[in-house]
Amino acid sequence: MVNSRIAKVYAEIINSELVEATGCTEPIALALAGAKAKEVLGLMPDKVDAYCSGNIIKNVKGVVVPNSGGLKGIDTAVLLGMVGGDPNVGLQVVSKVDDEDRERLKNELKRIAFSCHLAQDVPTLYIRIEAYKGEDSVIVEIQVTHSNFTKIVRNGEVLLSSECKDDAYPGPDKSLLNVKDIFDYASNFDLSDVKETIKRQIDDNTAISNEGLKNAWGQEVGRTLLKACGKEDIRIRARAAAAAGSDARMNGCPMAVVINSGSGNQGMTVSLPVIEYAKEMKADEDRTIRALVLANLIALHQKRYIGYLSAYCGAVSAAAGAGCGICFLEGGSYENMCDVITNTIASIGGMVCDGAKSSCAGKISLAVEAALLALDMAMGKKCYQCGEGMVKKDIESTIEAYGRMAAKGMKSTDIEILNIMLEDR
């Protein structure tokens, strides 16, 4: 049985990780850094230098910045934060941008001397904004997580400086996460401390999914699924719900999403299939919340080995979490959960992340389908065995093995993906 200390940490993880964000989190992190730089500088700068890790560049290149008027790019994200962003609301920094701000953005994109540079030997999530106005200058740095300020300097005076080791998570102790304790916590503990967070995830993520299904966003993966396969099959509805949320989010929809592992796509992938199945099964609120707590923690557990950003598509770990949440709704055991995770990541653990963009919705749909097949296999007592590929003797070793492959083995893949993306077309 989970002890009270572990339960307290699990609740802290849920409440600190499952936060609202407006727009894809990488451009939003840039907007947040830009807004903070402008606040500290006190005026709009004349010159801005942005130093970004490869994964930040990769995940901003192809996605529409919300509330920008349909624009893309690192310069758009940073300057939108400066023009109309509020650094005090975290990842909802551009949620209040209006038409006047958008007009100012167009002018500032022409006026300000903006340069972007690839930062070397930094964490996979790294942003440094240097802004200049006359004799005044500001440096703002974010590392490891999307809103983790590690340095603020004005005219050489250090206002904030915190040590941040490469990919060291600045939050509750995730080393306490394991599948057995997650299952026990979701099954048995009073979840009142996380109830409001999960309800917010249900409301926000369902709303943007409905928007993606109702209107034409991006390549309409969710709408295409329903049109091609019909609405009768819960499997199709689960896939379409998650994909439609991504359709909208990746193409500039300004509606808030409750994220997982720093990602809106992962937040939608881990939650929306579970929500659809809960509605289909007429599960009550308590059971739905418990299923979502389990799903989110399973996803976060996998990602602690992988890191927030890598060449490994986070939809895979999120979908495995969703599969476990649905398994919980169906009365599955701890052993079933282990098999769902193993079957999912052994099937598609290696799908690459080539940045945030419209095709994320397609990857989400396929990842959810893989998780549902993994669930069918698990409930039929079928599971890939130790020695088959990277599958190990137990679930914790298997999760760690795939995390190691993603974090270390795919580093060179990540570099080559970035090089290809930056080539002239």
The CATH number given to whatever domain includes residue 129 is 3.30.1330
Both 277 and 386 in one domain: the answer is yes
Residues 139 and 218 in one domain: no
Q: Name the one residue in this structure whose structure tokens are 């679930």.
A: 395
Boundary of a domain, candidates 161, 186, 219: 161
CA distances from residue 327 to 24, 206, 285 in whole angstroms, order as listed? 29, 20, 16
Range of the domain at 144: 24-161
Would you write out the chain's pLDDT as a tens digit for each of its 425 residues?
668 889 999 999 999 999 999 888 999 999 999 999 999 999 999 999 999 999 999 999 889 999 999 999 999 999 999 999 999 999 999 999 999 999 999 999 999 999 999 998 999 999 999 999 999 999 999 999 999 999 999 999 999 998 765 545 567 889 999 999 999 999 999 999 999 999 999 999 999 999 999 999 999 999 999 999 999 999 999 999 999 999 999 999 999 999 999 999 999 999 999 999 999 999 999 999 999 999 999 999 999 999 888 899 999 999 999 999 999 999 999 999 999 999 999 999 989 999 899 999 999 999 999 999 999 999 999 999 999 999 999 999 999 999 999 999 998 998 899 889 888 66
**β partners of residue 137:** 132
- Give how many domains the chain has, as a whole number: 2
Domain assignment present for residue 1? The answer is no
Domain final residue pick, 129, 161, 193: 161
Q: Is residue 241 part of a domain?
A: yes
Kindly state whether residues 90 and 219 are assigned to the same domain: no
Same domain, 154 and 184: no
* Whether residues 349 and 290 fall in one domain: yes
CB 87 within 8 A of CB 96: no
CATH code for position 226 = 1.10.4100.10
Give yes or no: residues 210 and 136 share one domain: no
The reply to whether 137 and 224 lie within a common domain is no
Task: Catalogue the long-range contacts made by 331-338 (C-beta closer than 8 Å, 24 or more residues apart).
Answer: 332/375, 332/378, 332/379, 334/179, 334/180, 334/183, 336/378, 336/379, 337/179, 337/183, 337/294, 337/298, 337/378, 338/179, 338/383, 338/394, 338/395
Tell me the residue type at 208: I
In a domain, 14, yes or no: no
Q: Tell whether 106 is covered by a domain.
A: yes
For tokens 């941008």, name the residue. 97
